[in-house]
Amino acid sequence: MYVEIGFLRKSYISEIPADGDFFPFGIDGEGSYIIEYYESQELDQELDIEVFFNNWMAQLNKFPIYTIFSYGKVDEEEIDHTFSSANIEYAKLKMKKERFIKSKVQDKKQFEIVMSYLYRQGSINDFAGWSLSEDLFSFDKRDMKTLFGRRKVHMPVVTLQKDSTMFWICHDGSSVISISNDNLFSTFDSIISSFPTGVKGIKSE
């Protein structure tokens, strides 16, 4: 299994987020390391991104993991049943027309369940993300650049702290991006040394 890894410039984070752009959500605090993870296109090796992150989060063992994703009303009954059956602690939130689920995940088994929703919703360009060990997510009404100019909208906000790490599923599920102040994410070598057995990292050019 091969994962391609690329370090992104801090300039990718804009003071005013843009709808449909990188990081279409609020970010408070500075992120020292911004890293993108995606399936390598150079090698004939299939990578199941969900399985990779399930195993990597278990390997990092930074539970509890706090997750958040937006969802449609039509999926509410299924989510309620699935999360309740797995004893996952969660809350439903509504911001104007958008619905969100926030959950607190205690172990790999619970993360696997939530990750299936995170990746599904992220792949259809709904907001989906998670943070390690501490809840970094809140909501606020802030400026966003849209096709109709700058507008005030309710949006998720990530508050970065010392040693904190969050992950966001990028548009169409094409990649996952982490923003971190943890030294583990400071170099290519330190990141891949934390990967599960059998997973190799490739530097993105």
> How far is it, in rounded angstroms, from Cα 135 to Cα 102?
10
Exposed, middle or buried by CB within 10 Å (0-12, 13-18, 19+), for 158?
buried
> Model's pTM, two decimal places?
0.94
Is the model's pLDDT at 43 over the cut of 60? no
One-character DSSP codes across 147-199 = TTEEEEEEEEEEE--TT-EEEEEPGGGS-EEEEE-SGGGSSHHHHHHTSPTT-
pLDDT digits (tens, 9 = 90+) for 92-126: 999 888 999 999 999 999 999 999 999 999 999 99
CB-based contact 197:52 (threshold 8 Å): no
Is the model's pLDDT at 156 over the cut of 60? yes
> Picking from 3-12, 44-53, 113-122, 156-165, which range would have the lowest pLDDT averaged per residue?
44-53
**So what's the pLDDT on residue 20?**
75
Is the model's pLDDT at 40 over the cut of 80? no
Please name which of 86, 182, 99, 88 lies closest in space to residue 134, comparing C-alpha atoms. Answer: 182
Q: Is residue 143 part of a domain?
A: yes
Work out whether strand 165-169 and strand 33-39 pair parallel, antiparallel, or are unpaired: unpaired
Task: Look at the chain and report how many structural domains it folds into.
Answer: 1
Q: Is residue 182 part of a domain?
A: yes
Confidence of residue 46 (pLDDT cuts 50, 70, 90): low
CA distances from 176 to 43, 74, 164 (A): 19, 26, 17
The whole-chain average pLDDT of the chain stands at: 92
Q: Is residue 205 part of a domain?
A: no
Residue 89: HSE in the Cβ half-sphere, 13 Å Cα cutoff: 7
**So what's the pLDDT on residue 167?**
98
Q: Is residue 137 part of a domain?
A: yes
Q: Is residue 174 part of a domain?
A: yes
Q: Is residue 66 part of a domain?
A: yes
| Cis amide leading into 64 (omega within 30) | yes
Structural domain that includes position 18: 2-200
Q: Is residue 27 part of a domain?
A: yes
Buried/exposed 182-200: b ≥16 CB within 10 Å, e otherwise: bebbeebeebeeebeeebe
Confidence of residue 172 (pLDDT cuts 50, 70, 90): confident
Stronger pLDDT, 204 or 183, i.e. the higher one: 183
Q: Is residue 28 part of a domain?
A: yes
Q: Where does the chain have alpha helices with state H?
A: 49-60, 76-85, 108-123, 188-193
